[in-house]
Amino acid sequence: MNREEKAKKKVQVAIIGGGIMGTLAARELSRYDLDILLLEKEAEVGWGTTKANSGIVHAGIHEDPGTLKAKYCFPGNQMFPQLCEELDVSFKQNGILVVALSEQEMETVHMYYQRGLERGVPVRLLSREEVLAQEPNLTPDVVGAVFAPEGGSVMPFELAAAAMENAVANGAELMVDSPVLSAWVEGTSKFLETPTHVIEADLVINAAGLFTDEIAAMFGDDHFSINPRKGEEYLFDLDLEGLVTSTVFPVPSGPTSKGILVIPTSEGNLMIGPTSDNVPERADLGTSYEGFDRIFEQTRRLVPSLDARKIVAQFAGLRAASDRGDFIIEFSPTVPGLFHLAGIESPGLTAAPAIAADLPRMLEEQGYKLTPKSDFNPRREGIVRFRLLSREEQDELIRQNPAYGRIVCRCETVTEAEIVDAIKRGARTLDGIKFRARAGAGRCQGGFCQPVIMGLLSRELGIPVEEVTKRGAGTEQIYFAAKELLGKGVS
């Protein structure tokens, strides 16, 4: 389809990128009387850097003074309890523990403690005995630690999906499977070309993660660059829930990483990682024996009883590190009406709510008129999490809807009704179901429930089962692979 044949659309604000930054920006701006369109190149939101994020809500003690990371991290941290309550997203305020294994490392721990005090972050210094009383499964070699109780953990892809769902409920529009192919300026308008549309916008917010510099370059703006930095992570079975309760950090050994961590997720799994390696390719999502060995060796120094046999999943993500070593939050110096939210790497998840909340101020300072809506609703309709309910509550749900009595995912106790609800909320793929409802996220990683979920997606979306994908166009072969195995007698 050539450009002239594509559908035309005009909006006031076009947001490029449906990661945590783009979706929270869309939700924040949906508070105002604006036509907002978010473009996401993947089949669903939250599938870039956000999908493989560690989910840590940082405390605000690691970031260097004078940086945008330091400016927005702690304010963002303070917003998470209310934000996750409004959007009904799982959030665990389990605290952050930075552990020293030597007297020399204790000097860094004291520095973080003082930095926390200066920034108003609640922090406590802990002796060896206090650390082991709080986390008895840590190594007895621990010397001391700083504890920040308001650190936490969230499911980042769940938060991105929820934020976008709420933005759409408040009038924003979402277009998935819509990569930006080209962009240009005519007068005061910016134009974006996707495979199906040409979109005209007064304001373009560039939140394209790893590709923010490429989007900028389409407009002729080359004043920053993005350097992908890969992190591998490994997820344990729920059997290890409670082995540690706080997110355990080592003292960092380099300038580009906070170290390799032991992370209790908000859903109860333990996760270890990430690595921090600069890579040349923006699609390099492979894990490696070397990465695993490095992660497992370093985390076993912190928690000696970690058992590699309990690992159920491994993955890698790419951080969108900028050439400035800091967030880039600014209007383009060369293209009027182009605003960059770039380089939002760690602690970008934590900072994102505060950055989004500050966005209206930055726009108004540039002359954009924002009129608040009287009917903005910050709340998303609640999600049923069947496995967390009491037996009495489960029985009542089954009486109301028998689909709650049909368990699809045995590992995570996810029901047919929950999967159908996820589809109605926007899930269109197997990964979309996994991230929204956790079906397929457990010990067998979908080995039992995947065919059933494929059938539900086929039924609810009204598509043939062979068109059901794992993560969007080009991943339909999951059906043909299953068919081939069945033909060989594998069941």
Side chain identity at residue 375, one-letter code: D
Question: Quick count: other Cβ atoms within 10 Å of Cβ 31?
Answer: 19
Under a CB-based contact definition with an 8 Å cutoff, are residues 320 and 342 in contact?
yes
How far apart CA 479 and CA 473 sit, in angstroms, is 13
3-state secondary structure 64-94: CCCCHHHHHHHHHHHHHHHHHHHHCCCEECC
Q: Tell me which residue has tokens 């260097």.
A: 64
Distance of CA 357 to the CA centre of its chain: 18
To the nearest 5 percent, what fractions of the chain are helix, strand and coil? 35, 25, 40
Tell me, yes or no, if 58 is annotated catalytic: yes
User: What end-to-end distance do the CA atoms of the chain give, in Å?
Assistant: 43
How far apart CA 470 and CA 450 sit, in angstroms, is 10
Under a CB-based contact definition with an 8 Å cutoff, are residues 201 and 190 in contact?
yes
- Maximal C-alpha separation, the chain: 71
Beta bridge partners of 249: 98
How far apart CA 274 and CA 315 sit, in angstroms, is 10
User: Which residue is catalytic, options 58, 62, 223, 340?
Assistant: 58
Q: To 10 degrees, what angle do helices 477-487 and 450-461 make?
A: 130
What is the DSSP annotation of 410-442? Answer: TTTTEEHHHHHHHHHTT--SHHHHHHHH-TT-S
DSSP classification of residue 163: H
- Spatial CA neighbour of 258 closest among 81, 23, 73, 84: 73
Side chain identity at residue 78, one-letter code: Q
What is the DSSP annotation of 361-415? Answer: HHHHHTT----B-SS---PPPPPP-GGGS-HHHHHHHHHH-GGGG-EEETTTTEE
Question: Quick count: other Cβ atoms within 10 Å of Cβ 52?
Answer: 22
- Spatial CA neighbour of 123 closest among 114, 135, 134: 114
Structure tokens at 190: 């910016």
Active site residues: 58
